[in-house]
């Protein structure tokens, strides 16, 4: 816009202040004509049912798409914190969007780029290497390029990023988000060099990584752009979230962002209630069960961190950090550990929340206070529809909340005598533990088990005996005699035997916390099981997880609480055959392992 045009727009605009939680505009009703820009604060765009659609930060616009299309977009704009917004009159905005520069802006932001060959309705193959997904020329600019020239190039290329080659050979990145938050909101001139407002070094991935692994990395770090490099460091392309997921599945990023900006327990509970819905939408839109589980696990991690930060503030502690990030300072006094399926990134809609606390030895006197914070955290999560573990594996319990040295001593005791203090059960839970808040070194149990094969062979043998004790069968003798299919618990009688076998195999290989497929692969590499058996068990695990997810998504659609008990006769003939074959494969691997290790029947 020219200076005169900017002056006219400014003269007709108005600054309006809103309190936190105020409705700025309701686009589900007769159309408001004004377009809004966030000057400071934050605005959530929510569907009519309260589902988060997007978050608009300083410099961001909203309201122009309904204005231009002339139809309702079925969303409500609400502030999440006290905010100051600029109201732009519709006539002036319409005039600007009718000009070439305005149309170019719409082409790069409001609507898909013409000729774009990105997937819009289905996810990519999760196991595909990312080298197969990147396409088109990469936009690379020099560090002294002005922001103005970089944005012009971004608009011409219909991309939302620019890479910057650094003098040391590394790369930086500048995105549309940086333009809003680091230039517009900061009041900087667009003539500043891009090196002053870029993110450097840019987080990147290599060409051999799978789409699923990259998606998890992007989601956990809150990134929407990921440069893809060769082993030599050459840039071959930039992945965006749209390259990895269908448009509907991008709600996982938006939900995680909404969790990060939630202001209090009530807001956390409102936003967090969408986790199960997210799982159902991901799976229905073609995302594999394994990828759906991993995405849901990452979102649950974000929800746990936010609930914990709210509980800390309520208890009078400081929590002035970005709750969407798992990075914490080295001075952290305690660590929060996720246990169970969430820790393994294998969460289902039915999953509950297992947890543990570990704190520095010098604050052991504050243990009771920390357990109270943990109890409040779980109360917030319960209200989100994420119940605490029914067996009491929660950080508010003294058994699961100890100092670092107490955990280390407990681990040594369990290795010396796994039957003491329920050591076999507790160690199995804690070995899965993954830090989602605090310093990694406060999680002392997995490290104690990494040399289990060499230092504690008898304890490892008991882990195997425990894994082989799980009975795998689809039908009981009564079912056979009565010629009925009966019911079957997919978790207890199929997933648990697999998870326990994989945990033992991982311990043989010196691998503690990891996903079930990673543990099986490590077990094969260490010679605990054959490559063929590892592949078979991974295939069976994926099949059972798919059956679980499909069953639980159907239960959610019917308004029921999701669970793992299925009626065999209600399975399709194909799924019933696959399940029976899978169970036979698990039992066969158990027999082979028993024979190889010379264990008694």
Tokens representing 214? Answer: 């990259």
Instruction: Indicate the CATH number for domain 3-109.
Output: 2.60.120.10
CA distance 155 to 152: 5
Tallying the residues shown for the chain, one arrives at: 601
CA distance 378 to 398: 15
Closest to 462 (Cα-Cα) out of 492, 413, 494, 425: 425
Q: Which residues pair with 355 in a beta bridge?
A: 338
Sheet of 235-240, strand order: 205-206, 225-229, 235-240
CA distance 70 to 394: 52
Contact 384, 303 (CB under 8 A): yes
233, burial (CB in 10 Å: exposed 0-12, middle 13-18, buried 19+): exposed
Residues 6+ apart with CB under 8 A from 514: 344, 506, 522
Contact 137, 157 (CB under 8 A): yes
CA distances, 420 to each of 85, 413, 431 (Å): 62, 8, 17
Q: Which residues of the chain have pLDDT under 50?
A: 71-72, 108, 110-125, 246-248, 320-331, 477, 479-484
CA distance 547 to 543: 6
DSSP state of 475: S
The 3-state DSSP class for residue 173 equals: strand
Tokens representing 141? Answer: 């600019």
- Per-domain residue ranges for the chain? 3-109, 130-217+226-238, 248-444, 457-596
* Three-class secondary structure assignment of 114-145: CCCCCCCCCCCCCCCEHHHCCCCCCCEECCCC
- pLDDT for 183 equals 85
229-251 pLDDT, tens digit each: 887 778 888 887 666 654 445 56
Closest to 82 (Cα-Cα) out of 39, 26, 32, 33: 39
User: How far from the centroid of its chain's Cα atoms is residue 454's Cα?
Assistant: 35
CA distances, 506 to each of 4, 122, 318, 420, 495 (Å): 68, 34, 38, 23, 16
Fold exhibited by the domain 130-217+226-238: CBS-domain (3.10.580)
Q: Classify 345 in phi/psi space as left (phi over 0), alpha (psi -120 to 50) or beta.
A: left
Closest to 228 (Cα-Cα) out of 173, 187, 281: 173
Tokens representing 382? Answer: 């319960």
532-552 pLDDT, tens digit each: 999 999 999 999 999 999 999
The 3-state DSSP class for residue 111 equals: coil
CA distance 323 to 334: 15
* Three-class secondary structure assignment of 236-302: EEEEEHHHHCCHHHHHHHHHHHHHHHCCCHHHHHHHHCCHHHHHHHHHHCCCCHHHHHHHHHHHHHH
DSSP 4-34: HHHHHHHHH-EEEEE-TT-EEEETTSSPP--
Architecture of domain 248-444: 2-Layer Sandwich (3.30)
Residues 6+ apart with CB under 8 A from 143: 164, 165, 166, 167, 172, 193, 194, 195
CA distance 64 to 369: 49
- pLDDT for 523 equals 93
CA distance 192 to 188: 7
CA distances, 171 to each of 133, 179, 296, 320 (Å): 20, 18, 31, 30
Helix axes 457-468, 423-431, angle to 10 degrees: 90
Contact 340, 346 (CB under 8 A): no
Q: Do the bridges between strand 161-165 and strand 334-339 make them parallel or antiparallel, or are there none, so unpaired?
A: unpaired
Q: Which residues pair with 206 in a beta bridge?
A: 229
């Amino acid at each position: 816009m020219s200076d005169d045009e900017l002056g006219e727009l400014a003269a007709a605009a108005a600054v309006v202040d809103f309190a936190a939680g105020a409705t700025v505009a309701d686009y589900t009703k007769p159309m408001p004509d004004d377009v809004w820009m966030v000057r400071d604060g934050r605005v959530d765009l929510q569907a009519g049912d309260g589902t988060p659609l997007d978050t608009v930060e300083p410099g961001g616009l909203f309201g122009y798409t309904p204005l231009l299309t002339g139809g309702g977009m079925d969303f409500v704009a609400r502030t999440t914190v006290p905010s100051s917004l600029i109201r732009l009159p519709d006539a002036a905005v319409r005039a600007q969007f009718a000009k070439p520069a305005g149309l170019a802006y719409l082409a790069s932001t409001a609507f898909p780029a013409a000729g774009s060959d990105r997937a819009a309705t289905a996810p990519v193959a999760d196991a595909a290497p990312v080298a197969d997904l990147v396409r088109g020329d990469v936009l690379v600019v020099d560090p002294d390029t002005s922001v103005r020239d970089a944005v012009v190039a971004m608009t011409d290329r219909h991309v939302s990023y620019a890479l910057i080659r650094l003098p040391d050979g590394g790369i930086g990145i500048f995105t549309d988000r940086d333009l809003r938050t680091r230039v517009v909101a900061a009041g900087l001139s667009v003539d500043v060099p891009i090196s002053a407002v870029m993110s450097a070094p840019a987080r990147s991935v290599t060409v051999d990584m799978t789409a699923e692994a990259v998606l998890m990395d992007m989601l956990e770090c809150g990134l929407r752009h990921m440069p893809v490099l060769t082993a030599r460091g050459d840039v071959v392309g930039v992945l965006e979230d749209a390259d990895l997921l269908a448009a509907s599945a991008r709600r996982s990023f938006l939900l995680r962002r909404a969790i990060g900006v939630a202001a209090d327990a009530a807001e956390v509970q409102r936003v967090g209630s969408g986790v199960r819905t997210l799982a159902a939408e991901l799976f229905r839109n073609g995302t594999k069960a394994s990828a759906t589980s991993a995405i849901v696990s990452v979102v649950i991690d974000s929800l746990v961190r936010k609930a914990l930060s709210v509980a800390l503030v309520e208890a009078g502690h400081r929590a002035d950090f970005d709750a969407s990030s798992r990075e914490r300072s080295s001075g952290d006094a305690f660590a929060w550990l996720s246990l169970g399926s969430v820790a393994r990134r294998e969460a289902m809609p039915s999953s509950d929340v297992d947890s543990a606390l570990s704190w520095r030895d010098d604050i052991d006197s504050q243990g009771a206070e920390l357990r109270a914070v943990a109890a409040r955290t779980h109360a917030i999560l319960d209200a989100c529809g994420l119940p605490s573990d029914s067996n009491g594996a929660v950080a508010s319990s003294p058994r699961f909340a100890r100092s670092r040295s107490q955990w280390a001593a407990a681990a040594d005791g369990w290795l010396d005598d796994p039957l003491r203090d329920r050591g076999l059960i507790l160690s199995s839970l804690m070995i899965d533990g993954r830090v989602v808040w605090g310093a990694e070194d406060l999680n002392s149990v997995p490290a104690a088990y990494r040399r289990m094969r060499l230092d504690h062979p008898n304890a490892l043998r008991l882990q195997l005996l425990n894994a082989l004790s799980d009975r795998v069968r689809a039908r009981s003798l009564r079912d056979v005699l009565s010629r009925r299919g009966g019911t079957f618990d997919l978790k207890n009688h199929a997933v648990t035997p697999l998870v326990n076998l994989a945990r033992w195999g991982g311990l043989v290989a010196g691998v503690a916390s990891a996903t079930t497929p990673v543990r099986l692969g490590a077990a094969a590499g260490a010679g605990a099981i054959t490559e063929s058996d590892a592949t078979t068990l991974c295939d069976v695990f994926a099949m059972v997880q798919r059956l679980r997810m499909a069953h639980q998504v159907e239960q959610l659609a019917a308004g029921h609480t999701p669970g793992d008990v299925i009626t065999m006769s209600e399975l399709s003939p194909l799924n019933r055959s696959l399940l029976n074959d899978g169970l036979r494969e698990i039992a066969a691997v158990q027999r082979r392992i028993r024979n190889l290790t010379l264990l008694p029947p």
